[in-house]
Amino acid sequence: MSRRLTTGLARAAIGVVVSLACIFLVLRGVDLQKTAELVGGARPAWLAVAVAAVIGDLVLRAVRWQILIRPICRVPLRRLSAYMLVGYLANNVLPARLGELVRAHYLGDREGISRSATLGTVVVERVVDTVVLVAIGAAAILVLNVRGVVGSAILVGVAIAALLCVALAVALAAHRLPGASRAAAFLGRWPRVVGVATRLRDGLRVAALPRTVAGAAILSVAAWSCTVVAVLAVGQSLGIQLTVGEGALLAAGTNLATAIPSGPGYLGTFEYAGQSIALAFGFGASVGLALALLIHVLTLAVSSIAGVVALIRLGWSHNGRPAAKPKP
């Protein structure tokens, strides 16, 4: 058994353990019959609004990725969105966000672009997304004056977002740091590693383009606004009157929780975060579980169905499509 396979299995096992632990914590003190009644009585009209908002979120994310990858190559939005959706489908069925690697490989294989450079744009996208999401969560906490575990978790998110920005800046300026030439000479023993690192940095360099990053940040705000609308609509479908601030904190908290290693589809971590935030708002554990569960199922269903459609339309194997036009 290869070392890579062993590492992957270990990460998957850790994720499953984390998910099971979160599920145990979520189910403590929950009246499952009440939760089932709430979910079963959800009003379809509001669920339709939530589905439309999630679709809008996905469209904005595809446009954002197109903006980030445009400095490297030009890929039509229709194809790019399909690659993104296949990656999201993989995220829903694989642990540890391996879908990000899937979409980078899929786009690179189909469009003749370096997979490492493509992955670099995905990394920048994740950093921008995390910063925007943490900012939304922090603003919601200030408005709602929420304290305790939820407030502390968002503060941890602020620290992580800052570290990601610093790490990205270091990666971009690594060749200028003291000892860089010595490190380059040492790594020169492994040309393939140097080649992958160089191509990865080509993708990361989009973070040094102010207009590109600004456009990605604006689209991230718009996409997360759609997510907040979806959360508010799900609440309305259950007869729960959420304020915009509460919807924003639920959207931020549950999605930040998906960064924690977990089983496929972020099962358990998403529900635990959603229930904890709902409890901070004064809702019961059963109501909080119903709210988090319905938001999660709806999001997974829309992204998975869209991913399956994209995969069927494109197929998995390379079909000889002409490579995208490189950026001069």
Rounded to 5°, the CA angle 146-125-53 comes to 60
Q: Residue 217: pLDDT above 50? A: yes
Q: Are 270 and 288 in contact (CB under 8 A)?
A: no
Q: What pLDDT score was predicted for residue 178? A: 66
Q: Are 86 and 102 in contact (CB under 8 A)?
A: yes
- Is the overall model pTM greater than 0.85, yes or no? yes
Q: Are 207 and 168 in contact (CB under 8 A)?
A: yes
**Residues above pLDDT 90, as percent of the chain:** 59
Measure the CA–CA gap between 123 and 116, rounded to whole angstroms.
10
Cβ neighbour number for residue 260 with a 10 Å cutoff: 16
> How does residue 235 score in pLDDT terms, banded at 50, 70 and 90?
very high
Q: Which of 133-137, 185-189, 263-267, 277-281 shows the lowest mean pLDDT across its residues? A: 185-189
Q: Residue 195: pLDDT above 90? A: no
Q: Which of 49-53, 129-133, 241-245, 261-265 shows the lowest mean pLDDT across its residues? A: 261-265
Q: Which of 183-197, 205-219, 273-287, 304-318 shows the lowest mean pLDDT across its residues? A: 183-197
Q: What pLDDT score was predicted for residue 222? A: 98
Q: Residue 1: pLDDT above 50? A: no
Residues pairing with 74 in the sheet: 325
Q: What pLDDT score was predicted for residue 180? A: 55
- Give the amino acid at 16: V
Q: What is the mean pLDDT of residues 203-209?
A: 92
Q: Residue 96: pLDDT above 80? A: no
What would the pLDDT profile of 14-68 be if each residue is shown by its tens digit?
Answer: 878 888 999 999 998 899 999 999 999 999 999 999 999 999 999 999 999 999 9
* 121: nearest Cα among 314, 324, 308: 324
Most confident listed range (139-143, 163-167, 241-245)? 241-245
Q: What is the mean pLDDT of residues 265-286?
A: 93
Q: What pLDDT score was predicted for residue 11? A: 67
Enumerate the domain spans of the chain: 41-318
Instruction: Give the residue, 121 or 325, on which the prediction is more confident.
Output: 121
Measure the CA–CA gap between 299 and 312, rounded to whole angstroms.
20
> How does residue 169 score in pLDDT terms, banded at 50, 70 and 90?
confident
What would the pLDDT profile of 117-149 be if each residue is shown by its tens digit?
Answer: 999 999 999 999 999 999 999 999 989 988 777
Cβ neighbour number for residue 286 with a 10 Å cutoff: 20
Q: What pLDDT score was predicted for residue 83? A: 95
Q: What pLDDT score was predicted for residue 175? A: 56
Q: What is the 3-state secondary structure (H, E, C) of the chain?
A: CCHHHHHHHHHHHHHHHHHHHHHHHHHCCCCHHHHHHHHHCCCHHHHHHHHHHHHHHHHHHHHHHHHHHCCCEECCHHHHHHHHHHHHHHHHHCCCCCHHHHHHHHHHHHHCCCHHHHHHHHHHHHHHHHHHHHHHHHHHHHHHCCCHHHHHHHHHHHHHHHHHHHHHHHHHCHHHCCCHHHHHHHHCCCHHHHHHHHHHHHHHHHHHCHHHHHHHHHHHHHHHHHHHHHHHHHHHHCCCCCCHHHHHHHHHHHHHHCCCCCCHHHCCHHHHHHHHHHHHCCCCHHHHHHHHHHHHHHHHHHHHHHHHHHHHHHCCCCCCCCCCEECC
